[in-house]
C-alpha cells in the first residue's frame, strides 16, 4: 500500500518538475483515485503530503533534496512551501500561474458561469447540460504531460469544466443537469470567452380544420419575386396572404418566444379543399424557444380566436420529435375520407351512380402523377386502395359521394380519370364527363 502512495507522490513530483500546476490541474491527473472528492482537494492534499515529506527530509539532513521539492511547490503558489523555505533560510520563490490551464479555473470559469446564469435568465427550462470548448493547446499540454509521466488515472479538463460548471449552475438555479434529454445546452467557449445557450426544440401536435377554400396549407411564395416582394404581390412576397402553416405557427411562435417554427402536416390538401370532421393531424416544431411551459389549452383558445372562421385547431399537446417521421410515413398509408360534389355533363340515374360507386369500392386504382402537378412532380405510377365509395346525394346533374381511401390517392383524378391516367375512375365507369365542384377532407386517421 505504501508503495502505491510513493508511486502517486513520485508522479506528482515528475509533473511539477515539468510544469507549475494549480491544485485542480494537479489533482485532475489523479481524478480516477478516490470518490466524492474534488480535483482541487486531491491537488491540495498531494501538495500537503509533499510538503510533509520535504519537512521530514530536512530533519534527516537532506537539505538539498528538501529545498528542491519546496521550490517546486512554492512555484505553484502553495504558500506553506514558501514559508518553510524562508524559515530554513532559503530565498522565497515567485509563484508562476498554472502552466496547464493558464489560470482558466481561477478566473475564467467563474466569469463564464456568471455569464451563463445571466443568459439563462432569459429562458424557461427545467433541465440543462453544460458543454465547453477549450483551446486545443491546453488539451495538447495535458495529453503530453499525462503520457510523459505515464499517468492512467486522469480525466480531461473538459470533463472537469463541464462538471464543475454544471454543479455551480445547478446549485444557483435549482435546475437539474440532464445528460439524456436536457431542455437546453449551455456552451462555455474558452476560445472566445463567450457563453452560448441553445434551447432544444419543442414539439406541439394537434389537428386542424380548414373551414374555407382558397387557403393553402403552407406558405406560398409569389412566383414573380419568389418571396422578395414585388408589385405583383403588393410587396408581401406571397401569392396568398394566409396559409394554415402561418395561421397555426404564428401564435405558437409568440407564446413560446421561438425564433422559427416548422409545420409538418399528415399529408396535405389542395388550396380549394376544406378539411372538416376531426381535422388533419400536424406537428409544429418550435426552434430556439424561450418558453417551454406554455398552457396549451389557453394557447389553443388564442389560435382559434385569431383564426375565427378560417381554421380551427384542436387537441394541442406536447409531442416527441419522432412523431414527425411517423406523421410523414403514415400519411401515405393511413385511411382518409373525402366528401366530393360532382357535376355530370348529363343526368345519371341513381341506380347507375350506385353501381359505379360499388364498382369502385375495394379496388386498387392505378394512378399516374396527375397532369396538373406534372410540372413539379415526377411522372410515377401509384397503386392506391379505394376502400369505399358511397353515394350520399343526387340532384339534377349534380351528385355527392364520400370516398374512403388510402392516403396519397389523388381524389379529383379518381372522379374524372385525368384523361385515362387514373384507372378505373368514376368517369370511366359511367361513360359521362364529370367535373369536381367541391372537395372536403372529412377524416384523417391519426398516426
Ligand atoms: Zn490549472
Ligand atoms: Zn412578388
DSSP string, 170-226: HHHH-PEE-SSS-SEEEEEETTTTEEEEEEPPEEEEEEEEE-SSS--SS--B-TTTT
Report CA(269)–ligand 2 centroid distance (Å).
24
104-199 CATH choice from 3.30.750.200, 3.30.1330.180, 3.30.70.2860, 3.30.2130.30: 3.30.2130.30
Omega before 424 cis (within 30°)? yes
Report CA(306)–ligand 2 centroid distance (Å).
26
Report CA(20)–ligand 1 centroid distance (Å).
8
Same fold, 202-331 and 335-444: yes
Class in CATH terms, 335-444: alpha beta
Report CA(188)–ligand 1 centroid distance (Å).
17
The CATH classification number of 202-331 equals 3.30.70.2510
What is the rounded distance in angstroms from the CA atom of residue 70 to the CA atom of residue 92? Answer: 10
- Cβ atoms of 282 and 208 within 8 Å: the answer is yes
What 8-state DSSP symbol labels residue 108? I
Cell of 26: 494537479
What pLDDT does residue 139 have? 92
Ligand (nearest to CA of 239): 2
Nearest to 265 by CA among 194, 347, 208, 199: 208
Which single residue is written with the C-alpha cell 382558397?
A: 214
CA angle 263, 267, 272 (to 5 degrees): 95
Ligand (nearest to CA of 145): 1
| DSSP element (H, E) containing 82 | helix 79-87
So where are the chain's domains? 2-87, 104-199, 202-331, 335-444
Q: Is 270 a catalytic residue?
A: yes
Pairing of strands 434-444, 273-287: parallel
Report CA(100)–ligand 1 centroid distance (Å).
5
What pLDDT does residue 1 have? 57
| Catalytic, out of 62, 178, 270, 272 | 270
Q: The whole model's pTM is what?
A: 0.83
Q: Along the 447 residues of the chain, how does pLDDT read in single tens digits?
A: 578 888 999 999 999 999 999 999 999 999 999 888 999 999 999 999 999 999 999 998 888 889 999 999 999 999 999 999 999 888 899 999 999 998 777 778 899 999 999 999 999 999 999 999 999 999 999 999 999 999 888 899 999 999 999 999 999 999 999 999 999 999 999 989 999 999 999 999 999 999 999 999 998 888 899 889 999 888 988 888 899 999 999 999 999 999 999 999 998 899 999 999 999 999 999 999 999 999 999 999 999 999 988 999 999 999 998 888 888 877 777 889 999 999 999 999 999 999 999 999 999 999 999 999 999 889 999 999 999 999 999 998 999 999 999 988 999 999 999 999 999 999 999 999 999 999 999 998 876
What pLDDT does residue 385 have? 95
Ligand (nearest to CA of 240): 2
Let me know how long the chain is. 447
Neighbours of 354 (CB within 10 A): 14
Amino acid at each position: 500500500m505504501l508503495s502505491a502512495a510513493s508511486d502517486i507522490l513520485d508522479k506528482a513530483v515528475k509533473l511539477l518538475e515539468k510544469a507549475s500546476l494549480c491544485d485542480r490541474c494537479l489533482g485532475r491527473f489523479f481524478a480516477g483515485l478516490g470518490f466524492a472528492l474534488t480535483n482541487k482537494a486531491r491537488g491540495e492534499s498531494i501538495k500537503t503530503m509533499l510538503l510533509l515529506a520535504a519537512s521530514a527530509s530536512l530533519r534527516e539532513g537532506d537539505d538539498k533534496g528538501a529545498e528542491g521539492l519546496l521550490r517546486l511547490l512554492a512555484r505553484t503558489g502553495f504558500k506553506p512551501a514558501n514559508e518553510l523555505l524562508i524559515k530554513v533560510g532559503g530565498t522565497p520563490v515567485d509563484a508562476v500561474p498554472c502552466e496547464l490551464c493558464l489560470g482558466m479555473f481561477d478566473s475564467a470559469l467563474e466569469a463564464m458561469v456568471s455569464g451563463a446564469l445571466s443568459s439563462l435568465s432569459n429562458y424557461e427550462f427545467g433541465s440543462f447540460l453544460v458543454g465547453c470548448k477549450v483551446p486545443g493547446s491546453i488539451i495538447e499540454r495535458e495529453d503530453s504531460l499525462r503520457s510523459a509521466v505515464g499517468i492512467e488515472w486522469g480525466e480531461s479538463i473538459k470533463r472537469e469544466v463541464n462538471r464543475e460548471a454544471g454543479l455551480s449552475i445547478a446549485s444557483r438555479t435549482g435546475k437539474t443537469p440532464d445528460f439524456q434529454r436536457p431542455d437546453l445546452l449551455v456552451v462555455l467557449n474558452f476560445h472566445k470567452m463567450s457563453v452560448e445557450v441553445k434551447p432544444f426544440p419543442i414539439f406541439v401536435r394537434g389537428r386542424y380544420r380548414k373551414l374555407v377554400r382558397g387557403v393553402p396549407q403552407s406558405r406560398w411564395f409569389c412566383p414573380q419575386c419568389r418571396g422578395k416582394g414585388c408589385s405583383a404581390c403588393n410587396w408581401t412576397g406571397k401569392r396568398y396572404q394566409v396559409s394554415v402553416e402561418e395561421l397555426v405557427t404564428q401564435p405558437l411562435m409568440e407564446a413560446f418566444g421561438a425564433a422559427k417554427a416548422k409545420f409538418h402536416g399528415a399529408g396535405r390538401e389542395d388550396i380549394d379543399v376544406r378539411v372538416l370532421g376531426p381535422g388533419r393531424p400536424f406537428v409544429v416544431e418550435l426552434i430556439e424557444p424561450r418558453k417551454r411551459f406554455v398552457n396549451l389549452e389557453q394557447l389553443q383558445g388564442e389560435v382559434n380566436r385569431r383564426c375565427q372562421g378560417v381554421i380551427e385547431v384542436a387537441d394541442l399537446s406536447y409531442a416527441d420529435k419522432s412523431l414527425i417521421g411517423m406523421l410523414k410515413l403514415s400519411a401515405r398509408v393511413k385511411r382518409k375520407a373525402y366528401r366530393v360534389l360532382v357535376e355530370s355533363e348529363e343526368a345519371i340515374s341513381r341506380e347507375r351512380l350506385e353501381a359505379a360507386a360499388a364498382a369502385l369500392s375495394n379496388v386498387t386504382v392505378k394512378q399516374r402523377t396527375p397532369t396538373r402537378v406534372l410540372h413539379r412532380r415526377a411522372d410515377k405510377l401509384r397503386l392506391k386502395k379505394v376502400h369505399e365509395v358511397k353515394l350520399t346525394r343526387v340532384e339534377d346533374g349534380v351528385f355527392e359521394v364520400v370516398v374512403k381511401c388510402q392516403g396519397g390517392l389523388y381524389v379529383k383524378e379518381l372522379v374524372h380519370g385525368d384523361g385515362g391516367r387514373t384507372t378505373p375512375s368514376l368517369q370511366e365507369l359511367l361513360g359521362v364527363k364529370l367535373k369536381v365542384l367541391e372537395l372536403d377532407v372529412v377524416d384523417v386517421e391519426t398516426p
